[in-house]
Amino acid sequence: QLVESGGGLVQPGGSLRLSCAASRYTYSYSSGCMGWFRQAPGKEREGVASIYIGTRNIQYAESVKGRFTISQDGRENTVLLQMNSVNPEDTAMYYCASSGPVTSRRYCDWDDFVSWGRGTQVTVS
């Protein structure tokens, strides 16, 4: 189970931090991935950031590189997304996601994700 929080209304150039609380079972995969996706109205869902839990190998979408930071807190079973220098194009519903075991490599692919939270809305205006 994945539960997002932290969304809201923010001005352009501002910051927001999203949090995803994962059940202990979801988070226990050292060979799995956690990530953030987003979907804006009328657009397809896109990957934003991912982290391979065991190696902490991180990947970002080009559109958020240098502005967003994904991190994990293993003790709290939490994955965070720090969003800085936001712009109106970042407006979307943001979803936390997790994969099953990923053992063939030590990084994440956007197609690895199979479980989703309900989302938290981020509006930049």
The model's pLDDT over 7-31, given as tens digits with 9 standing for 90+, comes to 999 999 999 999 999 876 555 567 7
DSSP character at residue 26: H
Nearest to 93 by CA among 1, 7, 11: 7
**Which tokens go with 85?**
């220098």
Q: How many CB atoms lie within 10 A of CB 99?
A: 22
Across the strands, what pairs with 36? Answer: 49, 96
Q: Which percentage of the chain shows pLDDT scores above 90?
A: 73
Alpha carbon distance 41, 80 (integer Å): 23
pLDDT tens for the chain, 125 residues: list them. 899 999 999 999 999 999 999 876 555 567 789 999 999 999 999 999 999 988 889 999 999 999 999 998 766 678 999 999 999 999 999 999 999 888 888 889 999 999 999 999 999 99
